[in-house]
């Protein structure tokens, strides 16, 4: 069973363009979810990347954020959170 690295990307968006950015994010294969949220950041994206020997999961996530997400129009700033340990409920 392949191992996946998950990350949470917090995005600051130009006012009024949140839904456009969410739609653009969901066109990226690695983006599993995109949410408009209140607070300092405007959008939360959940991304998942298959780990492999050639490129560790966290480095692959770095390139997804740099080359795909941060190039979306109207994104002003981003913060990427990569969990080092996670547990999930079964069911």
Q: What is the mean pLDDT of each run of 10 residues along the chain (91 residues)?
A: 83 98 97 97 94 68 94 97 87 70
pLDDT at position 53: 60
C-alpha torsion sign, points 71, 66, 43, 89: positive
Instruction: Find how far residue 44's CA is from the centre of its chain.
Output: 7
Residue ranges of domains in the chain, CATH in brackets: 4-81 (3.30.70.920)
pLDDT at position 60: 86
Structure tokens at 89: 């409920």
pLDDT at position 22: 98
pLDDT at position 87: 85
Q: Whole-prediction pTM value? A: 0.88
């Amino acid at each position: 069973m392949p191992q996946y690295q998950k990350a949470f990307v917090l995005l600051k968006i130009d006012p009024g363009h949140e839904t456009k950015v969410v739609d653009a994010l969901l066109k990226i294969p690695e983006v599993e979810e995109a949410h408009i949220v209140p607070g300092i950041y405007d959008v939360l994206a959940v991304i998942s990347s298959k780990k492999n020997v050639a490129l560790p999961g966290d480095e692959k996530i770095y390139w997804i954020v740099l080359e795909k997400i941060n190039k979306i129009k109207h994104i002003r700033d981003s913060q990427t959170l990569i969990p080092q340990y996670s547990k999930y409920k079964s069911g």
